[in-house]
Amino acid sequence: MYLASCYTFLKEIYLMKTLYIMRHAKSSWKFEELSDHDRPLNKRGRNDAPLMGQELAANNAQLQLILSSPAVRALTTATLVARELDYDADDIAVNDRMYGASAEELLEIAREAPADVDSMMMVGHNESISEFANMLSPKHVASMPTAGVVALRFNCDSWYDIKRDNAELLFYDVPKNHK
């Protein structure tokens, strides 16, 4: 009996995938000569990204992979969050396809994650990042503000199998909740 319940518990843990979907933090429009791709974070963004990283740490987020758009504002957000989670920023995977990706393309990218990764974060851009969260979340998620994070857990053992039908919304958090 005891062994059976331990097996059931372990099976539930290891047959789960956890996905954190994050919109990049607030960017600056101060430098008109910069392309959209090269816009940095503004002061608020440089404060909000680590704040959300701290909140993720408080929620025991154990990321095995961080995927980021190559845009400066997204990669900086991912880096600031990674620092708060003791995740080596050099291990952030930059995926060029995430910049300008649709929600469907983001799903394709998520489904390509390595099988041995059970917990990952994707840092991208609106409107597609909010659409992506709503594509997978069993509960509606409002349009994500900058630095907003949606956490979803999927009852499956393959990223290829993630979908709304096997998802649980763990939380939806925004910087405003902590100010």
Annotation: binding site for substrate: 73
Q: Which residue has the tokens 């709503």?
A: 134
What does the DSSP 8-state code read for residue 119? E
Instruction: Compute the distance between CA of residue 24 and CA of residue 75 in angstroms, rounded to an integer.
Output: 8
Look at residue 157 and give its three-state secondary structure. Answer: coil
Closest CA to 26 of 95, 89, 80, 86: 80
Query: Who's near 40: CB < 8 A, 6+ residues apart?
Result: 27, 28, 31, 34, 72, 73, 76
Q: Which two tokens stand for residue 143?
A: 């349009």
Binding residue positions: 73
